[in-house]
């Protein structure tokens, strides 16, 4: 179920004196099973863009096509589009309103008219996918920790069995352990075939998980390529108020000092391997 | 006596605090915290969600009062109701979401909000506001609407709002959580400068481990207790304890430790990119 965006432009309050073009002329295609990171400074248009992908916003011009069909053409059910493309908003725990965790996760499937037994089975499956213990289901969502609340919100979307999962800053405000748990959940979902689009300010998270990275700057798609390629362009990213991961910057600085190491390293493990190899080549004693 | 009072910073002694969940249930948020922060110190507070960081911060400007124990802010006991406003003026707070903190439609009016509430003369307010905006590098935006600023700029305006009250201390509760990478750096550099140039005591709460590197001292909270205190290097060298608590050594620190433990003769506690580059180049030239 590929998503194709063609020449997409969105202008808020079109035709008034306060009209603002949030995104313009954006085109790309995302295929099944991809893991895409979407990065960009605050106000670059990320939220506007993702709300087009499941039909929450209507393009001012251009097209959004899901499975080859323009989602705004006649006869297309937007409800069905929103079921297939699940969107988890920023700070979703602030939108929790049901009395129990169960009811909160069941909201989506109930809304879609699933039977009682189907709802129950979807809630259970969704909980298993994000590692929520079943005994939490009877609790009030307000008693949960930050990481648990975030997982409940993701489970609520998974319960409607989307094919594509879009997450807007899923780890913002979480402590390192909560962050790692959520990212591990997302990684596992992707491994099982889910297409994932991750919007994040955390470059380390994006570098660690995403195969492909898209960069938005003032409403334009200014880069779209393999994570390695995008993150090795430090000056370009900095001009966009972004930053490569620390270990990537480290490698670049070592290269400037004459080291024969790769400049497209994304994780601590990769940096370690590159440094050890260079030290061995140079015959540095003690470097195993 | 007066001399001694002047040099006192922020102190907590044997502080216990319980939150009421409902009539029958209370949760222990602070379990006997002892802490002393010197005037002019830059302290970063780390700890998992629910470890008591924010509860502690709110005790340091009398937003919360201890159930047991005492908190003194520059020699003033927070339990003395007559001192509450003076305590809040001298130890101002900045919160996570900039949009919830900015109230006015023009930046300078927002910054003037605090001094106006203190009943300061309009002429003096203008001077205070101008100085405060200058200190955070936002003087060019004084007539702008806060709503059109970036996240980092909004937080700098929120900081200016606190500065306009001429505080001795600023307490920041996850001010960078919602910002993009440059916004985060903007805010961190701003508070570092306020600390170094104006001598303002800074208490900065964060989940970003790399922000701890700006601190003179890092303190770590876990389950309502203060479990570690030391320089960033000292704290992150206890990597086992750090990970047991659910925190993380910053990436460069992880890399240094791995290289060191596989036999590379470098300082295992190296935490910044530039230091590690120097360490590695030194090692590589030893052939």
> How much is the pLDDT for B25?
80
Banded model confidence at residue B247, pLDDT cuts 50, 70, 90? very high
Residues of A numbered 20-49 whose beta carbons fall under 8 angstroms of chain B's beta carbons: which are they? 40-43
Asked whether residue B278 falls in the same domain as residue B212, the answer is no
Asked whether residue B173 falls in the same domain as residue B276, the answer is no
Asked whether residue B282 falls in the same domain as residue B233, the answer is no
Asked whether residue B169 falls in the same domain as residue B254, the answer is no
> How much is the pLDDT for A288?
57
The CATH code of the domain that includes B195 is 3.40.50.300
A287 touches chain B (CB under 8 A): yes
Q: Kindly report, residue by residue over B185-217, the tens digit of the pLDDT.
A: 999 999 999 999 999 999 999 999 999 999 999
| Cβ pairs bridging A and B (under 8 Å) | 127
What sign has the CA pseudo-torsion B169, B175, B176, B177? positive
The answer to whether the Cβ–Cβ distance between A174 and B49 falls below 8 Å is yes
Asked whether residue B234 falls in the same domain as residue B256, the answer is no
Asked whether residue B228 falls in the same domain as residue B258, the answer is no
- The answer as to whether B167 is a domain residue is yes
Asked whether residue B92 falls in the same domain as residue B53, the answer is yes
The answer to whether the Cβ–Cβ distance between B276 and A250 falls below 8 Å is yes
Mean pLDDT of chain B: 93
* Ranges of residues in chain A whose predicted pLDDT is under 70: 285-288
By percentage, how much of chain B surpasses pLDDT 70?
Answer: 98
Of A177, A271, A286, the CB nearest to B263: A286
What is the nearest CA distance from A66 to chain B, expressed in angstroms?
A: 30
B177 touches chain A (CB under 8 A): yes
Average pLDDT of the residues in B59-70: 96
> How much is the pLDDT for B2?
45
Strands (E), chain A: 3-12, 20-30, 35-39, 61-66, 69-70, 85-88, 164-168, 195-199, 212-217, 220-226
The answer to whether the Cβ–Cβ distance between A272 and B259 falls below 8 Å is yes
- The answer as to whether B1 is a domain residue is no
Q: What is the Cα–Cα distance from B260 to B65, expressed in whole angstroms?
A: 46
- The answer as to whether B127 is a domain residue is yes
Domain that holds residue B287: 250-287
Contacts of B152 in chain A (CB under 8 A): 42
- The answer as to whether B190 is a domain residue is yes
Contacts of A178 in chain B (CB under 8 A): 48-49, 246
> How much is the pLDDT for A286?
62
Asked whether residue B137 falls in the same domain as residue B209, the answer is yes
Asked whether residue B239 falls in the same domain as residue B263, the answer is no
What is the nearest CA distance from A168 to chain B, expressed in angstroms?
A: 12
- The answer as to whether B92 is a domain residue is yes
Asked whether residue B132 falls in the same domain as residue B261, the answer is no
Tokens of B83: 């001192």
Q: What is the Cα–Cα distance from A118 to B221, expressed in whole angstroms?
A: 44
- The answer as to whether B257 is a domain residue is yes
Least confident of A14-18, B128-132, B160-164: A14-18
Task: Count structural domains, chain B.
Answer: 2
- The answer as to whether B2 is a domain residue is no
Dihedral angle at the C-alpha atoms of B212, B216, B217, B218, nearest 10 degrees? Answer: 0
Banded model confidence at residue B3, pLDDT cuts 50, 70, 90? very low
Beta carbons within 10 angstroms of residue A58's beta carbon:
12
- The answer as to whether B256 is a domain residue is yes
What is the nearest CA distance from A115 to chain B, expressed in angstroms?
A: 35
pTM of the model: 0.91
Contacts of B274 in chain A (CB under 8 A): 253
> How much is the pLDDT for B6?
55
B278 touches chain A (CB under 8 A): no
Asked whether residue B269 falls in the same domain as residue B233, the answer is no
> How much is the pLDDT for A146?
78
> How much is the pLDDT for B87?
96
ipTM, interface predicted TM-score of the complex: 0.89
Cα A104 to chain centroid, rounded: 22
Strands (E), B116-209: 169-173, 201-205
Asked whether residue B113 falls in the same domain as residue B74, the answer is yes
> How much is the pLDDT for B4?
47
| Position B274 pLDDT exceeds 60 | yes
Contact in structure between B172 and B202 (CB atoms under 8 Å):
yes
Q: What is the Cα–Cα distance from A156 to B260, expressed in whole angstroms?
A: 45
> How much is the pLDDT for A249?
96
By percentage, how much of chain B surpasses pLDDT 90?
Answer: 81
Banded model confidence at residue B1, pLDDT cuts 50, 70, 90? very low
């Amino acid at each position: 179920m590929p998503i194709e965006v063609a020449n997409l432009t969105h202008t808020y309050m079109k035709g008034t004196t306060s009209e603002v073009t949030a995104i313009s002329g954006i085109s790309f295609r995302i295929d099944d099973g991809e893991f895409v990171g979407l990065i960009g400074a605050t106000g670059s248009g990320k939220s506007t863009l993702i709300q087009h992908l499941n039909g929450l916003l209507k393009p001012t011009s251009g097209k959004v096509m899901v499975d080859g069909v323009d989602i705004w053409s006649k006869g297309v059910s937007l409800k069905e589009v929103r079921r297939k493309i699940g969107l988890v908003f920023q700070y979703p725990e602030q939108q929790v309103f049901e009395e129990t965790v169960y009811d909160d996760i069941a909201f989506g499937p109930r809304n879609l008219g699933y039977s009682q037994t189907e709802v129950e089975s979807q809630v259970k499956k969704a909980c298993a996918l994000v590692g929520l213990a079943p005994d939490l289901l009877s609790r009030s969502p307000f008693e949960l920790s930050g990481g648990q609340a975030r997982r409940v919100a993701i489970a609520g979307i998974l319960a409607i069995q989307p094919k594509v999962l879009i997450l807007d800053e899923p780890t913002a405000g979480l402590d390192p352990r909560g962050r790692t748990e959520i990212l591990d959940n997302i990684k596992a979902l992707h491994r099982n075939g889910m297409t994932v689009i991750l919007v994040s300010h955390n470059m380390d998270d994006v570098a660690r998980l995403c195969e492909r990275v898209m960069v938005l700057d003032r409403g334009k798609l200014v880069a779209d390529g393999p994570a390695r390629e995008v993150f090795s362009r430090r000056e370009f990213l900095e001009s966009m108020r972004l930053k490569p991961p620390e270990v990537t910057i480290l490698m670049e600085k070592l290269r400037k000092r004459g080291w024969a190491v790769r400049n497209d390293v994304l994780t601590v493990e990769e940096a370690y391997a590159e440094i050890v190899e260079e030290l061995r080549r140079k015959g540095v004693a003690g470097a195993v | 006596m007066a001399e001694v009072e002047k040099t006192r910073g922020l102190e907590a002694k044997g502080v216990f605090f319980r939150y009421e969940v409902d009539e029958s249930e209370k949760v222990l948020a602070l379990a006997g915290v002892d802490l002393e922060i010197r005037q002019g110190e830059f302290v970063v507070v780390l700890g998992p969600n629910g470890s008591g960081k924010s509860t502690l911060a709110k005790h340091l400007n009398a937003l919360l009062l201890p159930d047991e124990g005492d908190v003194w802010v520059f020699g003033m006991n927070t339990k003395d109701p007559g001192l509450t406003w003076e305590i809040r003026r001298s130890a101002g707070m900045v919160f996570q979401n900039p949009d919830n903190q900015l109230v006015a439609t023009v930046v300078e009016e927002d910054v003037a909000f605090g001094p106006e509430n203190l009943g300061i003369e309009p002429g003096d307010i203008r001077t205070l506001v101008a100085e405060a905006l200058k200190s955070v590098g936002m003087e060019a935006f004084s007539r702008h609407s806060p709503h059109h600023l970036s996240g980092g700029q909004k937080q700098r305006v929120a900081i200016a709002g606190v500065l306009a009250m001429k505080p001795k201390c600023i307490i920041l509760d996850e001010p960078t959580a919602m910002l993009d990478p440059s916004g985060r750096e903007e805010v961190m550099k701003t508070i570092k400068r306020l600390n170094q140039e104006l001598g303002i005591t800074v208490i900065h709460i964060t989940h970003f481990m790399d922000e701890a590197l700006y601190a003179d001292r890092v303190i770590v909270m876990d389950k309502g207790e203060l479990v570690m205190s030391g320089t960033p290097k000292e704290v992150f060298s206890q990597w086992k304890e750090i990970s047991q608590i659910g925190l993380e050594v910053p990436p460069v620190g992880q890399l240094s430790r791995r290289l060191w433990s596989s036999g590379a003769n470098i300082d295992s506690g190296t935490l910044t990119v530039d230091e590690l580059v120097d360490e590695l180049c030194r090692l590589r030239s030893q052939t």
